[in-house]
Structure 1
């Protein structure tokens, strides 16, 4: 799992996590430079300044959706296409793009590339990873294409066909990759009660958030009983969180005149459903997030922290990680030696890894949140909401994003980068020293709890 690179006669060891960091960083840098070009913005003769361009490029590559400028009015067609390409590449992942290019150029894909791809896609085995790349790209293009067509037909009733097709393509790519970038200043608020928009957009980001391995597992097995344990957990926890999220938003916002209080019952249900399922993955909104009740914001932060499934385009600690932590707690409370899920035993090594992901995530969130309290003049809940949204690569904002200071924008940029790569990957990239000592010390107990 270690790649060796030659440089001036010396061997430099790069962990796969470091290579992924460099890959995403390079893509972000290219995107930043492109968005700084005058041709990228509507205002002639000026592109975005470096910090804003870096923020937007990072948000696109990390499929977050937080924006310091309005996408529809700030960027030209060229700038918007740059964002779309960054979103698509960011959703696929660096190694998926690299392997696809290898295939196109007819180059041999060696063991090192397969190991990196395994890390990038977060799959258990090396078997069939290259074939998996082709399936991922094929599924993405088919789903995005069909949904873009449906959205274009719907939007053709209120705009020209050319604009409707473009809106369909843009929002389809943005949704499936869980990016949350939209072309309207208020996201999708004007279609809060529109069944077609609600169903298609949520289908896209829920499908993208479930993960490619789960999608392929469903396609191949065609039976819930035959699905892998990973797929069963991902689907069940996703379903539970979506239902609970919808109910919480409906109850908490039912009488709030600033969100859904003034809507009819049917529109309230659509708004609650959309805003209940969107926090774990995409950054679209059909109601004003900043006007939601504090209880809704707190629960939204929990959903953003949990995030989507492993191997998906979403962020967070992942639903499978969350499930393992919950079942591990239950095993401890019931004094059991094993962690069992669906009559299958989970190794304590995997449990420890899940707990580590949760702890490292909280650590990174706390550090960025703490620093933001120095740089931003805003209430604590808004700062924390923005921080967790960036970590979960969700893109929802309580209204703070556009008012961030330059330092604050850099901090949120760092948080989005950490969230896309994952807390454990970032930890591996920063702490690469391996302890090869063969000494095992004597065990001693300490008091805990």
Structure 2
């Protein structure tokens, strides 16, 4: 059985994640982890949400869980965000153990890389960069929260939010997330910078640290940086003008607070999960736009979820190329391989089908809820975002299991699941080509 798991990296990763969730759920059920007892279901829901760095919560994290429970959640977030195999690499190296080719294949799968070469170095760099970024963020956030809460609570509050933000988890210790800090520049900038850095992808971060010259960046880095700038700018402008007069969101704020709120809520939906305005009070068109952003998600090899921004860009470029009668896709003087185009289409289509299947179940289990909050909750779970219109605490028992499944599949990815159970086609037969009418 062990040999079979090592020969199937996707299945091995799924097994590791399930093991982490089971251990995390059991730890959260310890009496010392909660102020008041919680059910096993709620404990495992929280564990799944933390390990998949989603942030959906059926109970209030700041009031129901003790500092021990919050620490357990923080550890699950860190392990889930950076990856179990990343921590395994560090432990192996500390123990002086050799990391074989099979282990490298699993790490390659975990970090979503195309090649095995340099994978150990990447894992080490990932760990170092992550710790340094989080510690620097704690120093900045403590300038706000230590004066308010004191050294002990202020530092823990800063650490929890730094880990949660960088890993794109969206877990917060305040019942209103960050609504009470809607106009605070330090909180807005640091938290958003954390989840943007975490969501842009580890390979991109390494590329950026290695060279400041744009010409030396990989095509993936160029697509991620340019795509992130464009989509975040457009989202901020859209939300700013669409919610400007809404008294329940931006309408009652001062102009500078409106700008901060529009910026924060524009960059957050791509898997961060924090909110500085009331999500449920937003206009329907804004909510639809946020659903699209949650579906697109963050970058490959990042702490975020969704189909990934580069996947969306490749499909968009392929569509434009088709309309221009081109059979090749070029970007930044590079040609994108056809294999990547097929993979992007497979990711998008499998994701859409999975969300539709989950929605069809959720409309039956949550028959008392409106359709839009159900769609919002399901896509948020799949994109491992954590934003909610308030439906999470009201979920039925069956609805909780569905959302837990959606969060899990959203984290590991539909393709990883299918690769873990599907056998590759070994047939060598080629068939004659034929045309099919499309469109």
Measured against the shorter chain, the TM-score band is over 0.9
8 A Cα contact 2:47 2:76, kept in partner: yes
**364, 369, 392: which one pairs with 2:383?**
392
Q: Which residue of 2 aligns with 1:24?
A: 17
Q: Which residue of 2 aligns with 1:429?
A: 420
Residues matched between the structures, number? 438
Taking the aligned partners of 1:87 and 1:120, their CA distance within structure 2 comes to 16
**1:216 Cα deviation from its structure 2 partner:** 0.7
1:363 and 2:356 matched: no
Taking the aligned partners of 2:79 and 2:331, their CA distance within structure 1 comes to 34
**Secondary structure of the equivalent of 2:86?**
helix
Taking the aligned partners of 2:25 and 2:209, their CA distance within structure 1 comes to 38
Q: Which residue of 1 aligns with 2:54?
A: 64
8 A Cα contact 2:6 2:103, kept in partner: no
**1:434 Cα deviation from its structure 2 partner:** 2.2
Q: Which residue of 2 aligns with 1:237?
A: 227
Taking the aligned partners of 2:109 and 2:331, their CA distance within structure 1 comes to 24
**1:156 Cα deviation from its structure 2 partner:** 2.3
Q: What is the CA deviation profile of residues 21-46 of structure 1, one whole-angstrom value per residue up to 9, with x for unaligned ones?
A: 11111101100111111111102xx3
Q: Which residue of 2 aligns with 1:353?
A: 343
Taking the aligned partners of 1:419 and 1:102, their CA distance within structure 2 comes to 28
Q: Which residue of 2 aligns with 1:36?
A: 29
8 A Cα contact 1:212 1:311, kept in partner: yes
Task: Spell out structure 1 runs of 4+ moving beyond 6 A.
Answer: none
- CA change 1:174–1:385 in 2 (3 A) is same
**1:133 Cα deviation from its structure 2 partner:** 1.2
**265, 272, 281: which one pairs with 1:275?**
265
Q: What is the CA deviation profile of residues 116-166 of structure 1, one whole-angstrom value per residue up to 9, with x for unaligned ones?
A: 111111112212111111111111111000110110111123221221111
Matches within 5 A, 1:246-261: 246-261=236-251
Q: What is the CA deviation profile of residues 238-268 of structure 1, one whole-angstrom value per residue up to 9, with x for unaligned ones?
A: 1111101111111111011111111011100
**Secondary structure of the equivalent of 2:107?**
helix
Taking the aligned partners of 2:401 and 2:268, their CA distance within structure 1 comes to 25
Q: What is the CA deviation profile of residues 204-254 of structure 1, one whole-angstrom value per residue up to 9, with x for unaligned ones?
A: 000000111101101112111211000000111111111011111111110
Q: Which residue of 1 aligns with 2:399?
A: 408
8 A Cα contact 2:240 2:258, kept in partner: yes
**1:341 Cα deviation from its structure 2 partner:** 1.2
Q: Which residue of 1 aligns with 2:2?
A: 5
Taking the aligned partners of 1:321 and 1:447, their CA distance within structure 2 comes to 26
Q: Which residue of 1 aligns with 2:276?
A: 286
**420, 428, 448: which one pairs with 2:411?**
420
Q: Which residue of 1 aligns with 2:372?
A: 381
8 A Cα contact 1:100 1:134, kept in partner: yes
Q: Which residue of 2 aligns with 1:115?
A: 105
- Give the CA RMSD over aligned residues: 1.2
- TM-score (ref. length: structure 2): 0.98
Q: Which residue of 1 aligns with 2:184?
A: 194
1:140 and 2:130 matched: yes
Q: What is the CA deviation profile of residues 265-311 of structure 1, one whole-angstrom value per residue up to 9, with x for unaligned ones?
A: 11000000000100002111000001100011000000000000000
Matches within 5 A, 1:29-178: 29-43=22-36, 46=37, 48-178=38-168
- TM-score (ref. length: structure 1): 0.96
**1:5 Cα deviation from its structure 2 partner:** 3.5
Taking the aligned partners of 2:388 and 2:5, their CA distance within structure 1 comes to 41
**Secondary structure of the equivalent of 1:345?**
strand
Q: Which moved more, 1:355-364 or 1:334-343?
A: 334-343
Taking the aligned partners of 2:425 and 2:192, their CA distance within structure 1 comes to 45
8 A Cα contact 1:206 1:281, kept in partner: no
Taking the aligned partners of 1:370 and 1:428, their CA distance within structure 2 comes to 24
**Secondary structure of the equivalent of 2:175?**
coil
Matches within 5 A, 1:211-226: 211-226=201-216
Taking the aligned partners of 1:441 and 1:39, their CA distance within structure 2 comes to 64
Structure 2, unaligned runs of 5 or more: none
Taking the aligned partners of 1:435 and 1:161, their CA distance within structure 2 comes to 59
Q: Which moved more, 1:32-41 or 1:400-409?
A: 32-41
- CA change 1:218–1:82 in 2 (3 A) is same
8 A Cα contact 2:363 2:374, kept in partner: yes
**1:106 Cα deviation from its structure 2 partner:** 1.1
Structure 1, unaligned runs of 5 or more: none
8 A Cα contact 2:5 2:11, kept in partner: no
**Secondary structure of the equivalent of 1:280?**
coil
